[in-house]
Structure 1
Amino acid sequence: MSVSLSDLIVWLVVGGLAGALAGMVVTAKWEGLGRWTGLGVGLVGAIIGGVIFRIFNIAPGLESVSVSLRDVLAAFVGSLIFLAILWALRMRKGG
Structure 2
Amino acid sequence: MKFELAQIVVWLIVGALAGSLAGMVVTFKKEGLGRWTNLGVGLAGALIGGGLFKVLNINLALGELNVSFQDLVSAFAGSMVLIIIWWIVSKTRRRKSHSNEHDSSHP
- State TM-score, norm by structure 1: 0.92
Alignment partners' CA distance in 1, 2:61 and 2:16: 23
Q: Which has the higher contact order (CA 8 A, sep 6+)?
A: 1
Gaps of 5+ in 2: 96-107
Moved over 4 A (4+): none
Q: Displacement, 1:91? A: 0.9
The residue number in structure 2 matching 1:91 is 91
How is 1:6-45 mapped onto 2 (pairs within 5 angstroms)?
6-45=6-45
Alignment partners' CA distance in 1, 2:88 and 2:63: 32
**Root mean square deviation, CA, Å:** 1.6
Aligned pairs, how many? 95
Going from structure 1 to structure 2, the CA distance change for 1:53 and 1:28 (only over 3 Å counts) comes to same
Query: Does the aligned pair in 2 maintain the 1:63–1:71 contact within 8 Å?
Result: no
Alignment partners' CA distance in 2, 1:20 and 1:60: 21
Q: Displacement, 1:55? A: 1.2
Q: Percent identity of the aligned residues?
A: 51
Structure number with bigger Rg: 2
Equivalent AA in structure 1 for residue 73 of structure 2: L
Equivalent AA in structure 2 for residue 46 of structure 1: A
Equivalent AA in structure 2 for residue 57 of structure 1: N
